[in-house]
Structure 1
Amino acid sequence: YRSLSTFLGSTELPIYGTFMDGDNVNTTTLPKKGIMIMGNEGKGVSNTVAELCSDRLAIPQFGEKTTESLNVASATAILLHEIRK
């Protein structure tokens, strides 16, 4: 058993964290291999794990920016769709 932080600290793969202020996933070139970290719907990615992320991704918001978060299952589906394109 290893903690997530220990695992992430030992990998050479890029680590993509999902954040409200991250880079637009639609315009980011993603590698064939990597790790995607999904945050808690209310609290996001923990500070400890955020420090280990090599890149920050976001699903772009359209219109007035009033959304605080997306349902993590919905956000995961959108991000995985983008990765597979």
Structure 2
Amino acid sequence: MGRARASVSAVKATGRPPVDRRTVVEATAWRFRTGAPWRDLPEQFGNWNTQQAQAVARARNAIRQDRPQPPLRSVPRRHTPLGPGL
């Protein structure tokens, strides 16, 4: 059991650090409230390009979730045997 604990606690720090979602929402609200371009985002929100990319990704994800799903077929297809009487 001690061995399993050691492997769980050893988390690798590879890749980019995650972006704080609250900061993205606040930066998006600031941008739409002021009407300013993303490049004029104050430093307190972090890199403007990161915030803009995250806001666009969240908007695309929301659009995908709002799309209606294709309806399920209520009547199953009937299998017709191949033959001369078709």
Structure with the greater relative contact order (CA < 8 A, sep ≥ 6): 1 or 2? 1
TM over 0.5: no
**TM-score by structure 2 length?**
0.22
Identify the structure with the greater strand proportion.
1
Greater gyration radius: 2
